[in-house]
Amino acid sequence: MYILNDSERDFLIGIDYALLTNKEKEVLARKTLEVPDGGIIVELGTAKGGATSIFHRFGQGKNVSIYSYDLNPCTEARAIFTGETNVTFIQSTTHDAAMQWIGKNLAIDLLFVDAGHMFVDIFNDFNDWVACLKKGGTIIFHDVDTKAFGGLNFLGVKLFCDTILRLNLLTNPEQFDTMLCGVIETPGIKVTFADSMETFTAIAKNAVEVIEYYRERFLDFLSVEKHDTTLDGPKILSYLGPHVKINCFIFAYILINWLREIFNNPAVSSKKLAFVNKILSHAWNLSAWNNAVTLIDYGRGCHKFPAKKLDISMIKDVNDLSKFVALEESKLQAVWQIAGPVFEKIVKLLENEFISLSNLNSYENYKRFIIFGAGPTGIQCCEELLKNNRTVIAFIDNMYINGSTFNGYSVYTPEFFFKEDLSYDAVVLGSKGLKWQMYIQLVSLGYDSKVFF
């Protein structure tokens, strides 16, 4: 894997007009470097030209042609590239652009999909453009929710990307922050409405199973009658169970069910507001959020979602599905105004259960460690482990290619590593600010041992 130098990293950090994380910028840079000489990059969604700037900088010297499409004029992006001959901006719908491109008979090496974020948008963009990719070409989707968010931010994008992953349409799929990358070996493939509905019903079924498991536990947890005023990690874990599988998407629905319980069931004690009142200054406005959820459900026909057996009688085509998903996104983002602060408090309490490496002496049986995070914090963790006569087996990191090296150790993606039969005792989270997201990913892969940091 190509290692960016300091000058290249500084360039990427300086593109502050790009709606991309630094990790996502690095991914675009590396994928651009993989484009062959004379290759073609197509970008769906120009915005301010942040991604375009990365394509241009890292495609220099290779005669790469860049085409960027957007429904808006994107004057700021155009101004950056005045006089550049290898960057072409076209104001057009992505559908019309695809129909025109097909007539050019030009195979695309790298397709970056970041235009409309409704389900119908990404569904059509993929089906319109995938035939234009060369065999073995790369496709990148942006704003694909991580496991920690699970669809809270962009449910439509997640639904579509879950579908192509389920169908194994991407070769070597990798996700970096909210960027999903993969190779298309069969450019003529299409995703159907039936494919998407199968994924949608599976998401609903899986979600409701987790929600039902936690529903009563959370109603107990949120009740002042069930615990004292001092909350800590062990108490929360006693309610959540041994395997915490909650992400933001699931937690939002738990709060939606809880709101319904509070306001629609007179038998539920009002004291169940106590925990939320300790965290939120606007808890008195909970009834307004409950009304918003009720109105959204009513407006789309009172279909219950998620559910084990989803009522799909009114979802006849891709447009119907997209509208249904869009209303769910609205509901989730509305309720997250109250769920977010509560979730953040619970996360902080759970993170208190992660074990500091400064307390290693109390865990003599833990000898062999994996470090999650191949970066500066990961190096510090490695040094601390070695200082305490522990063994570092390997690093895992979502940014690295399997078999790469970092700090003298092999690096694997978490998904690949946990399929291997390697002996280790525990994982160390080598990050200062992403511990919860890392923990969610570990649990989703079946990890159930102690967590150090």
pLDDT at residue 8 above 70? yes
When pLDDT is averaged across residues 377-385 and rounded to a whole number, the result is: 92
- Pull the structure tokens for residue 28: 């675009």
Using the 8-state DSSP alphabet, how is residue 300 labeled?
Answer: T
Count: domains in the chain: 3
Same domain membership, residue 182 and residue 69: yes
Q: Which residue has the tokens 């102690």?
A: 450
User: Is residue 344 very low, low, confident or very high in pLDDT (cuts 50, 70, 90)?
Assistant: confident
Q: Kindly report, residue by residue over 123-142, the tens digit of the pLDDT.
A: 999 999 999 999 999 999 99
When pLDDT is averaged across residues 80-90 and rounded to a whole number, the result is: 90
- Three-state secondary structure of 185-251: CCCCCCCCHHHHHHHHHHHHHHHHHHHHHHHHHHHHHCCCCCCCCCCCHHHHHHHHCCCCCCCHHHH
d(CA 320, CA 434): 36
Same domain membership, residue 162 and residue 40: yes
d(CA 124, CA 335): 29
d(CA 453, CA 442): 14
Same domain membership, residue 294 and residue 411: no
Burial class (CB within 10 angstroms; exposed 0-12, middle 13-18, buried 19+) of 316: exposed
Domain final position from 324, 351, 378: 351
Same domain membership, residue 173 and residue 316: no
Q: Kindly report, residue by residue over 145-179, the tens digit of the pLDDT.
A: 988 788 989 999 999 999 999 999 999 998 888 99
pLDDT at residue 449 above 50? yes
Q: Is residue 1 part of a domain?
A: no
pLDDT at residue 341 above 90? no
d(CA 411, CA 400): 7
d(CA 102, CA 4): 35
Domain final position from 310, 325, 351: 351
Same domain membership, residue 361 and residue 323: no
Q: Is residue 428 part of a domain?
A: yes
Same domain membership, residue 388 and residue 302: no
Same domain membership, residue 342 and residue 209: yes
Where are the extended beta strands (E) located within 340-453? Answer: 368-372, 391-396, 404-406, 409-412, 426-429, 451-452
Q: Find out whether 143 and 108 touch, Cβ atoms under 8 Å.
A: no
Q: Kindly report, residue by residue over 270-288, the tens digit of the pLDDT.
A: 555 555 555 555 444 666 6
Domain final position from 351, 367, 383: 351
Residues in contact with 353: Cβ distance below 8 Å, sequence separation at least 6, in sequence order: 233, 234, 237, 451
Q: Which residue has the tokens 């220099």?
A: 60
Structural domain boundaries enclosing 205 = 196-351
Summary mean pLDDT of the chain? 83
pLDDT of amino acid 228: 47
When pLDDT is averaged across residues 49-67 and rounded to a whole number, the result is: 94
